[in-house]
Amino acid sequence: MYLIYVAIGIIALFFGLEESGALPHRELKTQHQEKFEAYSLTGYGQGTTYTITYFTAGQPITSLQIDSILNEIDASMSLYKSESLINRFNSSKSGVRMDRHFRKVASRALDVYRDSGRMFDITVFPLVQAWNFGRLPSDSLPGDELIRELTKHVGSDKLMLVQDSLLKTDPAVKIDLNGIAQGYSVDVLASFLETRGIHDYMVELGGEIRVKGVKKSSNTFFTIGIQSPRDDGMDPESMETVLEIPEGAITTSGNYHKYYTSRGKKISHLISPLTGYPFQNEMISATVFTKEAMTADAFDNVFMGMGVENSFKFLKSHPEMEIYLIYQKEDGSIADTASTGFKRLFKQIKKK
Protein backbone atom coordinates (compact mmCIF):
# COMPACT_ATOMS: atom_id res chain seq x y z
CA MET A 1 0.00 0.00 0.00
CA TYR A 2 2.74 2.58 -0.68
CA LEU A 3 4.91 3.82 -3.52
CA ILE A 4 7.17 0.96 -2.70
CA TYR A 5 4.29 -1.27 -3.86
CA VAL A 6 3.03 -3.73 -1.28
CA ALA A 7 2.08 -7.03 -2.85
CA ILE A 8 -1.14 -7.48 -0.89
CA GLY A 9 -2.80 -4.16 -1.61
CA ILE A 10 -3.28 -1.38 -4.10
CA ILE A 11 -2.37 1.52 -1.85
CA ALA A 12 0.95 3.29 -2.22
CA LEU A 13 2.46 5.74 0.22
CA PHE A 14 4.14 8.79 -1.24
CA PHE A 15 6.48 10.09 1.46
CA GLY A 16 7.16 13.26 -0.51
CA LEU A 17 10.14 14.35 1.59
CA GLU A 18 13.08 14.06 -0.77
CA GLU A 19 13.30 13.12 -4.42
CA SER A 20 15.61 10.30 -3.41
CA GLY A 21 12.93 8.94 -1.05
CA ALA A 22 15.29 9.17 1.94
CA LEU A 23 14.00 10.86 5.06
CA PRO A 24 16.08 13.92 5.96
CA HIS A 25 16.68 15.04 9.50
CA ARG A 26 15.40 18.57 8.97
CA GLU A 27 14.49 20.99 11.70
CA LEU A 28 11.41 23.19 11.78
CA LYS A 29 11.11 25.91 14.39
CA THR A 30 7.65 26.55 15.77
CA GLN A 31 6.46 29.46 17.88
CA HIS A 32 7.65 27.43 20.88
CA GLN A 33 11.08 27.00 19.29
CA GLU A 34 10.63 23.24 19.13
CA LYS A 35 12.91 21.43 16.74
CA PHE A 36 11.15 18.64 14.87
CA GLU A 37 13.09 15.87 13.20
CA ALA A 38 11.84 13.29 10.73
CA TYR A 39 12.29 9.60 11.49
CA SER A 40 11.41 6.37 9.73
CA LEU A 41 11.29 2.84 11.09
CA THR A 42 10.89 -0.26 8.96
CA GLY A 43 10.71 -3.84 10.06
CA TYR A 44 9.00 -7.20 9.88
CA GLY A 45 6.09 -8.35 12.00
CA GLN A 46 2.87 -10.34 11.88
CA GLY A 47 4.02 -12.08 8.72
CA THR A 48 4.46 -8.82 6.82
CA THR A 49 6.39 -5.55 6.87
CA TYR A 50 5.79 -2.26 8.63
CA THR A 51 6.83 1.33 7.98
CA ILE A 52 6.40 4.11 10.51
CA THR A 53 7.19 7.71 9.51
CA TYR A 54 6.92 10.40 12.17
CA PHE A 55 8.11 13.81 13.32
CA THR A 56 9.06 14.65 16.87
CA ALA A 57 10.97 17.22 18.88
CA GLY A 58 11.46 14.69 21.63
CA GLN A 59 13.03 11.29 22.09
CA PRO A 60 12.65 9.00 19.06
CA ILE A 61 11.09 5.56 19.41
CA THR A 62 12.95 2.37 18.54
CA SER A 63 12.32 -0.72 16.45
CA LEU A 64 12.63 -2.80 19.60
CA GLN A 65 9.65 -0.99 21.11
CA ILE A 66 7.56 -1.56 17.98
CA ASP A 67 8.59 -5.21 17.74
CA SER A 68 7.70 -5.74 21.40
CA ILE A 69 4.18 -4.39 20.83
CA LEU A 70 3.64 -6.56 17.76
CA ASN A 71 4.97 -9.65 19.54
CA GLU A 72 2.56 -9.05 22.41
CA ILE A 73 -0.37 -8.86 19.99
CA ASP A 74 0.85 -11.98 18.18
CA ALA A 75 0.94 -13.88 21.46
CA SER A 76 -2.75 -13.12 21.72
CA MET A 77 -4.14 -13.45 18.19
CA SER A 78 -1.64 -15.08 15.83
CA LEU A 79 -2.71 -18.41 14.34
CA TYR A 80 0.97 -19.10 13.62
CA LYS A 81 1.95 -19.03 17.30
CA SER A 82 1.13 -22.47 18.69
CA GLU A 83 0.65 -21.17 22.24
CA SER A 84 -1.30 -18.07 21.29
CA LEU A 85 -4.55 -17.27 23.01
CA ILE A 86 -6.54 -17.68 19.80
CA ASN A 87 -5.14 -21.17 19.25
CA ARG A 88 -6.04 -22.08 22.79
CA PHE A 89 -9.56 -20.86 22.14
CA ASN A 90 -9.81 -22.90 18.94
CA SER A 91 -8.66 -26.08 20.66
CA SER A 92 -10.90 -25.58 23.68
CA LYS A 93 -14.41 -26.95 24.05
CA SER A 94 -15.96 -23.93 25.75
CA GLY A 95 -13.73 -20.85 25.42
CA VAL A 96 -10.96 -18.90 27.12
CA ARG A 97 -10.37 -15.88 29.28
CA MET A 98 -9.26 -12.99 27.10
CA ASP A 99 -6.42 -10.52 27.46
CA ARG A 100 -6.95 -6.83 26.64
CA HIS A 101 -6.02 -7.21 22.96
CA PHE A 102 -8.23 -10.23 22.36
CA ARG A 103 -11.14 -8.62 24.19
CA LYS A 104 -11.09 -5.41 22.14
CA VAL A 105 -10.80 -7.19 18.80
CA ALA A 106 -13.38 -9.90 19.55
CA SER A 107 -15.86 -7.34 20.84
CA ARG A 108 -15.48 -5.17 17.73
CA ALA A 109 -15.69 -8.23 15.47
CA LEU A 110 -19.04 -9.18 16.99
CA ASP A 111 -20.29 -5.62 16.52
CA VAL A 112 -19.35 -5.72 12.82
CA TYR A 113 -20.93 -9.17 12.48
CA ARG A 114 -24.27 -7.80 13.62
CA ASP A 115 -23.94 -4.51 11.75
CA SER A 116 -23.01 -6.16 8.45
CA GLY A 117 -25.85 -8.66 8.41
CA ARG A 118 -23.42 -11.54 9.19
CA MET A 119 -21.21 -10.68 6.19
CA PHE A 120 -18.20 -10.34 8.50
CA ASP A 121 -17.75 -13.45 10.62
CA ILE A 122 -14.62 -14.52 12.48
CA THR A 123 -15.94 -18.10 12.80
CA VAL A 124 -15.33 -18.66 9.07
CA PHE A 125 -11.91 -20.17 9.88
CA PRO A 126 -12.82 -23.85 9.13
CA LEU A 127 -14.05 -22.80 5.69
CA VAL A 128 -10.86 -20.85 5.00
CA GLN A 129 -8.90 -24.00 5.84
CA ALA A 130 -11.15 -26.15 3.69
CA TRP A 131 -10.43 -23.92 0.70
CA ASN A 132 -6.70 -24.46 1.29
CA PHE A 133 -5.83 -20.99 2.55
CA GLY A 134 -3.35 -20.93 5.38
CA ARG A 135 -1.66 -24.00 3.91
CA LEU A 136 -0.32 -25.15 0.55
CA PRO A 137 -2.97 -25.04 -2.21
CA SER A 138 -3.87 -28.26 -3.94
CA ASP A 139 -5.96 -29.40 -6.87
CA SER A 140 -8.48 -30.84 -4.43
CA LEU A 141 -11.40 -28.49 -3.86
CA PRO A 142 -13.84 -29.08 -0.99
CA GLY A 143 -17.03 -30.83 -1.99
CA ASP A 144 -20.52 -29.52 -1.39
CA GLU A 145 -21.13 -32.03 1.41
CA LEU A 146 -18.05 -30.88 3.31
CA ILE A 147 -19.03 -27.21 2.91
CA ARG A 148 -22.55 -27.94 4.21
CA GLU A 149 -21.10 -29.74 7.23
CA LEU A 150 -18.62 -26.98 8.04
CA THR A 151 -21.17 -24.18 7.73
CA LYS A 152 -23.14 -25.82 10.57
CA HIS A 153 -20.34 -24.67 12.86
CA VAL A 154 -20.02 -21.18 11.39
CA GLY A 155 -21.78 -18.18 12.87
CA SER A 156 -20.75 -15.62 15.47
CA ASP A 157 -24.12 -16.11 17.12
CA LYS A 158 -22.40 -19.18 18.58
CA LEU A 159 -20.01 -16.90 20.49
CA MET A 160 -20.65 -15.11 23.77
CA LEU A 161 -18.73 -12.39 25.59
CA VAL A 162 -19.13 -13.01 29.30
CA GLN A 163 -17.11 -10.57 31.38
CA ASP A 164 -13.46 -11.25 30.42
CA SER A 165 -14.16 -14.54 28.63
CA LEU A 166 -15.05 -15.48 25.08
CA LEU A 167 -17.26 -18.55 25.16
CA LYS A 168 -18.66 -20.79 22.42
CA THR A 169 -21.88 -22.76 22.45
CA ASP A 170 -20.53 -25.19 19.84
CA PRO A 171 -17.21 -26.93 20.66
CA ALA A 172 -16.40 -27.15 16.92
CA VAL A 173 -16.38 -23.36 16.48
CA LYS A 174 -12.98 -21.91 15.53
CA ILE A 175 -12.12 -18.31 14.83
CA ASP A 176 -9.74 -16.34 12.65
CA LEU A 177 -9.11 -12.68 13.51
CA ASN A 178 -6.87 -11.92 10.52
CA GLY A 179 -9.59 -9.82 8.90
CA ILE A 180 -9.50 -7.27 11.70
CA ALA A 181 -6.46 -7.82 13.94
CA GLN A 182 -3.90 -6.16 11.67
CA GLY A 183 -5.94 -2.96 11.58
CA TYR A 184 -6.13 -3.15 15.36
CA SER A 185 -2.34 -3.48 15.50
CA VAL A 186 -2.01 -0.27 13.48
CA ASP A 187 -4.30 1.50 15.96
CA VAL A 188 -2.22 0.23 18.89
CA LEU A 189 0.98 1.51 17.28
CA ALA A 190 -0.64 4.88 16.60
CA SER A 191 -1.76 5.08 20.24
CA PHE A 192 1.78 4.27 21.35
CA LEU A 193 3.11 7.19 19.30
CA GLU A 194 0.52 9.47 20.87
CA THR A 195 1.61 8.47 24.38
CA ARG A 196 5.15 9.48 23.42
CA GLY A 197 3.97 12.94 22.43
CA ILE A 198 4.15 12.19 18.69
CA HIS A 199 1.17 13.66 16.82
CA ASP A 200 2.45 13.82 13.24
CA TYR A 201 2.86 10.32 11.83
CA MET A 202 1.97 7.65 9.33
CA VAL A 203 1.80 4.03 10.49
CA GLU A 204 1.63 1.25 7.89
CA LEU A 205 1.50 -2.47 8.60
CA GLY A 206 0.87 -4.92 5.79
CA GLY A 207 -0.84 -2.22 3.75
CA GLU A 208 -3.13 -1.03 6.56
CA ILE A 209 -2.53 2.67 7.27
CA ARG A 210 -3.26 5.27 9.89
CA VAL A 211 -2.26 8.90 9.51
CA LYS A 212 -2.33 12.05 11.63
CA GLY A 213 -0.87 15.52 11.32
CA VAL A 214 1.56 16.86 8.75
CA LYS A 215 5.05 16.36 7.41
CA LYS A 216 6.85 19.03 9.41
CA SER A 217 9.57 19.37 6.78
CA SER A 218 7.06 20.71 4.24
CA ASN A 219 3.98 21.44 6.38
CA THR A 220 1.89 19.27 4.05
CA PHE A 221 -0.38 16.31 4.67
CA PHE A 222 0.82 12.77 4.13
CA THR A 223 -0.16 11.45 0.72
CA ILE A 224 -1.34 7.97 -0.19
CA GLY A 225 -1.58 6.61 -3.72
CA ILE A 226 -4.12 4.12 -5.00
CA GLN A 227 -3.30 2.22 -8.15
CA SER A 228 -5.37 -0.28 -10.05
CA PRO A 229 -4.62 -3.98 -9.57
CA ARG A 230 -2.30 -5.62 -12.08
CA ASP A 231 -4.00 -8.67 -13.47
CA ASP A 232 -4.88 -10.28 -16.78
CA GLY A 233 -7.01 -7.97 -18.87
CA MET A 234 -6.47 -4.96 -16.61
CA ASP A 235 -4.67 -1.80 -17.61
CA PRO A 236 -2.03 -1.23 -14.90
CA GLU A 237 -1.85 2.47 -15.72
CA SER A 238 -5.54 3.21 -15.21
CA MET A 239 -7.39 4.58 -12.18
CA GLU A 240 -4.30 6.00 -10.50
CA THR A 241 -5.24 8.37 -7.68
CA VAL A 242 -3.39 10.31 -5.01
CA LEU A 243 -5.04 11.13 -1.69
CA GLU A 244 -4.21 13.72 0.94
CA ILE A 245 -5.12 12.44 4.39
CA PRO A 246 -5.24 14.91 7.31
CA GLU A 247 -6.20 12.24 9.84
CA GLY A 248 -7.73 8.78 9.79
CA ALA A 249 -7.22 5.21 8.64
CA ILE A 250 -7.34 3.66 5.21
CA THR A 251 -7.29 -0.04 4.31
CA THR A 252 -7.93 -2.13 1.22
CA SER A 253 -9.21 -5.63 0.58
CA GLY A 254 -8.90 -7.22 -2.85
CA ASN A 255 -9.26 -10.58 -4.54
CA TYR A 256 -6.41 -10.26 -7.04
CA HIS A 257 -3.36 -11.20 -4.96
CA LYS A 258 -4.56 -13.76 -2.41
CA TYR A 259 -5.90 -16.51 -4.63
CA TYR A 260 -4.86 -19.70 -6.34
CA THR A 261 -5.98 -21.55 -9.44
CA SER A 262 -7.37 -25.06 -9.25
CA ARG A 263 -8.75 -26.99 -12.21
CA GLY A 264 -8.77 -23.78 -14.18
CA LYS A 265 -10.81 -21.92 -11.55
CA LYS A 266 -9.61 -18.83 -9.68
CA ILE A 267 -10.22 -19.37 -5.96
CA SER A 268 -10.26 -16.17 -3.89
CA HIS A 269 -9.28 -16.10 -0.21
CA LEU A 270 -12.44 -14.14 0.62
CA ILE A 271 -14.94 -16.76 1.76
CA SER A 272 -18.60 -15.94 2.34
CA PRO A 273 -19.73 -17.06 5.80
CA LEU A 274 -23.28 -17.17 4.42
CA THR A 275 -22.65 -19.67 1.60
CA GLY A 276 -19.33 -21.28 2.51
CA TYR A 277 -17.93 -20.48 -0.94
CA PRO A 278 -15.59 -17.73 -2.18
CA PHE A 279 -17.35 -14.47 -3.02
CA GLN A 280 -18.60 -14.44 -6.58
CA ASN A 281 -19.49 -10.89 -7.58
CA GLU A 282 -18.18 -7.94 -9.55
CA MET A 283 -15.82 -6.67 -6.85
CA ILE A 284 -12.06 -6.39 -7.41
CA SER A 285 -11.11 -4.24 -4.43
CA ALA A 286 -12.64 -2.13 -1.68
CA THR A 287 -10.80 0.71 0.05
CA VAL A 288 -12.27 2.14 3.26
CA PHE A 289 -11.46 5.43 4.97
CA THR A 290 -12.62 5.98 8.53
CA LYS A 291 -11.33 7.01 11.94
CA GLU A 292 -9.75 3.75 13.12
CA ALA A 293 -7.84 1.10 11.18
CA MET A 294 -9.55 -1.78 12.99
CA THR A 295 -12.96 -0.66 11.72
CA ALA A 296 -11.69 0.00 8.19
CA ASP A 297 -9.94 -3.38 8.14
CA ALA A 298 -13.13 -5.23 8.99
CA PHE A 299 -15.41 -3.33 6.64
CA ASP A 300 -13.21 -3.54 3.56
CA ASN A 301 -14.00 -7.27 3.64
CA VAL A 302 -17.70 -6.52 4.15
CA PHE A 303 -17.87 -4.29 1.08
CA MET A 304 -16.08 -6.95 -0.98
CA GLY A 305 -18.94 -9.29 -0.17
CA MET A 306 -21.75 -6.78 -0.56
CA GLY A 307 -20.91 -5.60 -4.06
CA VAL A 308 -21.15 -2.05 -5.39
CA GLU A 309 -24.88 -1.34 -5.12
CA ASN A 310 -25.37 -2.78 -1.64
CA SER A 311 -22.19 -1.12 -0.38
CA PHE A 312 -23.51 2.33 -1.20
CA LYS A 313 -26.89 1.50 0.33
CA PHE A 314 -25.11 0.39 3.50
CA LEU A 315 -23.04 3.57 3.55
CA LYS A 316 -26.15 5.75 3.87
CA SER A 317 -26.50 4.68 7.50
CA HIS A 318 -22.75 4.89 8.16
CA PRO A 319 -21.62 8.47 7.47
CA GLU A 320 -18.43 7.86 9.44
CA MET A 321 -17.06 5.73 6.57
CA GLU A 322 -16.04 6.53 3.01
CA ILE A 323 -15.28 3.99 0.27
CA TYR A 324 -13.50 3.61 -3.04
CA LEU A 325 -14.43 0.53 -5.09
CA ILE A 326 -12.88 -1.07 -8.14
CA TYR A 327 -15.08 -3.56 -9.95
CA GLN A 328 -15.61 -5.41 -13.20
CA LYS A 329 -18.54 -4.37 -15.38
CA GLU A 330 -20.73 -6.84 -17.25
CA ASP A 331 -18.82 -6.24 -20.47
CA GLY A 332 -15.57 -7.22 -18.72
CA SER A 333 -14.14 -3.71 -18.48
CA ILE A 334 -12.78 -2.33 -15.21
CA ALA A 335 -14.41 0.64 -13.51
CA ASP A 336 -14.09 2.53 -10.24
CA THR A 337 -16.43 4.55 -8.06
CA ALA A 338 -16.13 6.44 -4.78
CA SER A 339 -18.34 7.99 -2.14
CA THR A 340 -18.60 11.78 -2.07
CA GLY A 341 -16.50 12.06 1.08
CA PHE A 342 -13.78 9.85 -0.38
CA LYS A 343 -13.58 12.04 -3.48
CA ARG A 344 -12.77 15.01 -1.25
CA LEU A 345 -9.53 13.26 -0.33
CA PHE A 346 -8.36 13.21 -3.94
CA LYS A 347 -5.29 15.36 -4.47
CA GLN A 348 -4.92 14.59 -8.13
CA ILE A 349 -6.02 11.98 -10.64
CA LYS A 350 -3.76 10.71 -13.39
CA LYS A 351 -5.28 8.98 -16.36
CA LYS A 352 -2.81 7.53 -18.82
Domain holding 135: CATH number?
1.10.3980.10
Say if residue 254 is in the same domain as residue 119.
no
Which range, 238-247, 251-260, 289-298, is most confident? Answer: 289-298
Of 285, 286, 207, the closest CA to residue 47 belongs to: 207
- Average pLDDT estimate for 198-224: 94
Residue at a domain's end among 131, 147, 178: 178
* pLDDT number for residue 41: 97
Rounded to whole angstroms, the Cα distance separating 112 from 120 reads 6
pLDDT of the residue at 143: 85
Same domain, 34 and 134: no
When pLDDT is cut at 50, 70 and 90, the band that residue 22 belongs to is: very low
Q: Are strands 200-205 and 208-212 parallel, antiparallel or unpaired?
A: antiparallel
Find all residues with CB under 8 Å of 134, minimum gap 6, and list them.
79, 128
**Per-residue pLDDT, 240:** 53
Q: Domain boundary at 134, 154, 178, which?
A: 178
Give me the pLDDT at residue 18, please.
34
Q: Residue 53 belongs to what domain range? A: 11-61+181-350
* pLDDT at residue 259 in the model: 42
Is there a single domain that holds both residue 168 and residue 205? no
350 vs 274 pLDDT, higher one:
274
- Segment 19-27 shows an average pLDDT of 35
Q: Does any domain span residue 337?
A: yes
Q: Is the pLDDT assigned to residue 47 strictly greater than 60?
A: yes
Tell me, yes or no, whether 307 and 271 share the same domain: yes
Question: For residue 14, what pLDDT is reported?
Answer: 44
Residue 185: pLDDT band (50, 70, 90) is very high
Q: Are residues 174 and 197 located together in one domain of the fold?
A: no
pTM higher than the cut 0.95: no
**Residue 352's pLDDT band (boundaries 50, 70, 90)?**
very low
Same domain assignment for residues 165 and 245? no
Both 195 and 316 in one domain: the answer is yes
Residue 16 has pLDDT above 50, yes or no: no
Asked whether the beta carbons of 325 and 285 are under 8 A apart, the reply is: yes
Domain CATH code at residue 320: 3.10.520.10
Residue 348 reports pLDDT greater than 60 = no
Domain assignment present for 229: yes
Share of the chain above pLDDT 70, in %: 79
Which residues are paired to 12 by β-bridges?
225
Verify that 159 and 196 share a domain, yes or no.
Answer: no
Tell me the pLDDT band of 186, cut-offs 50, 70 and 90.
very high
Predicted pLDDT at 139: 56
Do 84 and 134 lie in one domain? The reply is yes
Model confidence over 281-321: pLDDT tens digits?
899 999 999 999 999 999 999 999 999 999 999 999 999 99
Predicted local distance difference test score (pLDDT) of residue 228: 58
80 and 45 Cβ atoms separated by less than 8 Å:
no
For 120-154, write each residue's pLDDT tens digit: 999 999 998 888 754 545 556 788 999 999 999 99
Tens-place pLDDT, residues 78-93: 999 999 999 999 999 9
The mean per-residue pLDDT over the stretch 242-263 comes to 75
| pLDDT at residue number 141 | 76
Q: pLDDT tier at 95 (50, 70, 90 boundaries)?
A: very high
How does residue 30 score in pLDDT terms, banded at 50, 70 and 90? very low
Asked if residue 211 and residue 99 are part of one domain, the reply reads no
For residues 183 and 260, the model is more confident at: 183
**Lowest mean pLDDT across 34-38, 168-172, 340-344:** 34-38
Assess whether pLDDT exceeds 70 at residue 117: yes
The lowest-confidence range among 25-34, 104-113, 233-242, 326-335 is 25-34
Q: For residue 133, tell me if it sits in a domain.
A: yes
Domain boundary among 142, 158, 178: 178
pLDDT at 212: 97
For the stretch 62-76, pLDDT in tens is 999 999 999 999 999
